[in-house]
Amino acid sequence: MIGELAALGAALSWTVSALFYGKALEEARPISANIIRLTMTGAVLLLFSVVLGKSALLAGLPFDVVVFSGVSGIIGLGLGDTLYLVSLRLIGVARAVPITCIYPLFSLLWSVFLIGEQITLAVVLGAILIVVGVWLLGQDTQTNTTGAKKKRLVVGMVFALATAIVWSISITLMDIAVKEMPDLDHAFAINTIRVITIAALLFAVSPLIDRKLSFLKVGGKTVAALVAGGIVALGLGWFFLTYSFVETLQSRAVPISSTTPLFSTLAGIFLLHEKVTRRNALGSVMIVIGIFLIFLA
């Protein structure tokens, strides 16, 4: 039961972080937001490592583990999360989060083409549900929708889908790194390396990718929201998921943690007052069911 509750905690953490990001993006540009989020969260995780006496673990990680972790951070947190923040800004939490959470489908494809795993009927049904769910999320029943709004919706969905693909690659690299050091302390160290690598890189190239250095001009409340979201998502959420793997089977933990789309849709409706149709809500539920089928196959 503890493992299942931890997996649920991960899903809730990622939902809460999306709410923080959605609020912050009302002021900050996605690239500026990601620089702030990763730099500050990386500093916090590094501080935790020192305070908890885990800094020696960082220095003792094998070179290949550091490489896999760093590249995973650059791809997933640098490119993937920037795409994610753009999609949040364009189409909102209730639509963006469910689409980005179909990354397990792409992870499965990598397994099929690279490892040669068999595709079962449950996987096929799950894939169909996910595709239909994404289509439903893109539906807008308002007859007065302008061309500009439709274009915004399409572009936002493309960014969300791209996020899912990039995240699936990043997670595959992270899995390789974690499997070499399969315990909670090293998992924390690996995640810290993952975050601080991309944080240092983004900060170093910030004059090129954020030429006006807009991230230095962001207000205090927005910075606080980004830091809170980063700590909740990259620290707390990831820890909950890792702990759930220790306490229960992955086949049980991952489907539970993948219920983030359902919580994000409810949060978008009741907390952010986003306009979500019945089709959009049904699409979120279908994506969750599809993810369950894939991981239970």
Average model confidence (pLDDT) across the chain: 84
- Work out the pLDDT band at 74, boundaries 50, 70, 90: very high
- Work out the pLDDT band at 232, boundaries 50, 70, 90: very high
Whether the per-residue pLDDT at 139 is higher than 80: the answer is no
Distance CA 289, CA 266 (A): 16
Q: What is the pTM of this model?
A: 0.80
pLDDT value at residue 138:
66
Q: What is the mean pLDDT of residues 150-163?
A: 91
pLDDT value at residue 173:
84
pLDDT value at residue 67:
93
Q: What is the domain partition of the chain in residue ranges?
A: 2-296
- Torsion angles phi and psi, residue 143, rounded to 5: -75, -20
- Torsion angles phi and psi, residue 274, rounded to 5: -75, 145
- Torsion angles phi and psi, residue 228, rounded to 5: -60, -45
